[in-house]
Amino acid sequence: MSDEMSARRANTSFYKDIFQMAFETADVMSFWWQPLVKGVGRAQLEIAGLQAKNLQAAMNWSRAIATAREPDDLLRANVGFCQSVLSHCEEAAPRVSGAMTKAAEPVVGFQLLPLPIRRNRDEVFIGDADAADHVARSRRVA
């Protein structure tokens, strides 16, 4: 019975390895696109918060318009609506621009380090030699 179980668990699909490699590559490369997606998501959340505040101001405006008794009340409701919308935009603009700036930053990628200086030959030092004995005890190797 163990032979049957091992036969069922065996990888019979040719495409499994290809897809596994593709998903692992996407996972490894995610450090390039993940900050961009994160920044765009933050900006969209800030804009959604701005829209919610403006919608609340519009609801208050419609209530103020509906309950207005004099023309002066209409003017006050319109001015109050414009002031609240502009103040909400003024509050949200730095946060949205900060999120988009974060999204547009270049991703720190791999840095190529300079190669060490290659010598023609390496030296092997044998034992603890004094400075005067250094020339006699060192041996060059290929």
- Residue-wise pLDDT for 55-105, tens only, equals 999 999 999 999 999 999 999 999 999 999 999 999 999 999 998 888 777
| Secondary-structure breakdown of the chain: helix, strand, coil percentages, each rounded to the nearest 5 | 70, 5, 25
pLDDT band at 115 (very low <50, low <70, confident <90, very high): confident
Q: What is the pLDDT of residue 17?
A: 81
**Residue whose C-alpha is closest to residue 109's, from 33, 10, 58:** 33
Q: How many alpha carbons lie under 13 Å from residue 48 in its C-beta half-sphere? A: 6
Neighbours of 76 (CB within 10 A): 13
**Residue whose C-alpha is closest to residue 58's, from 36, 39, 78, 44:** 78
**Residue whose C-alpha is closest to residue 50's, from 3, 6, 107, 97:** 97
pTM: 0.56
Q: What is the pLDDT of residue 112?
A: 65
CA dihedral sign, ordered 42, 44, 49, 53? positive
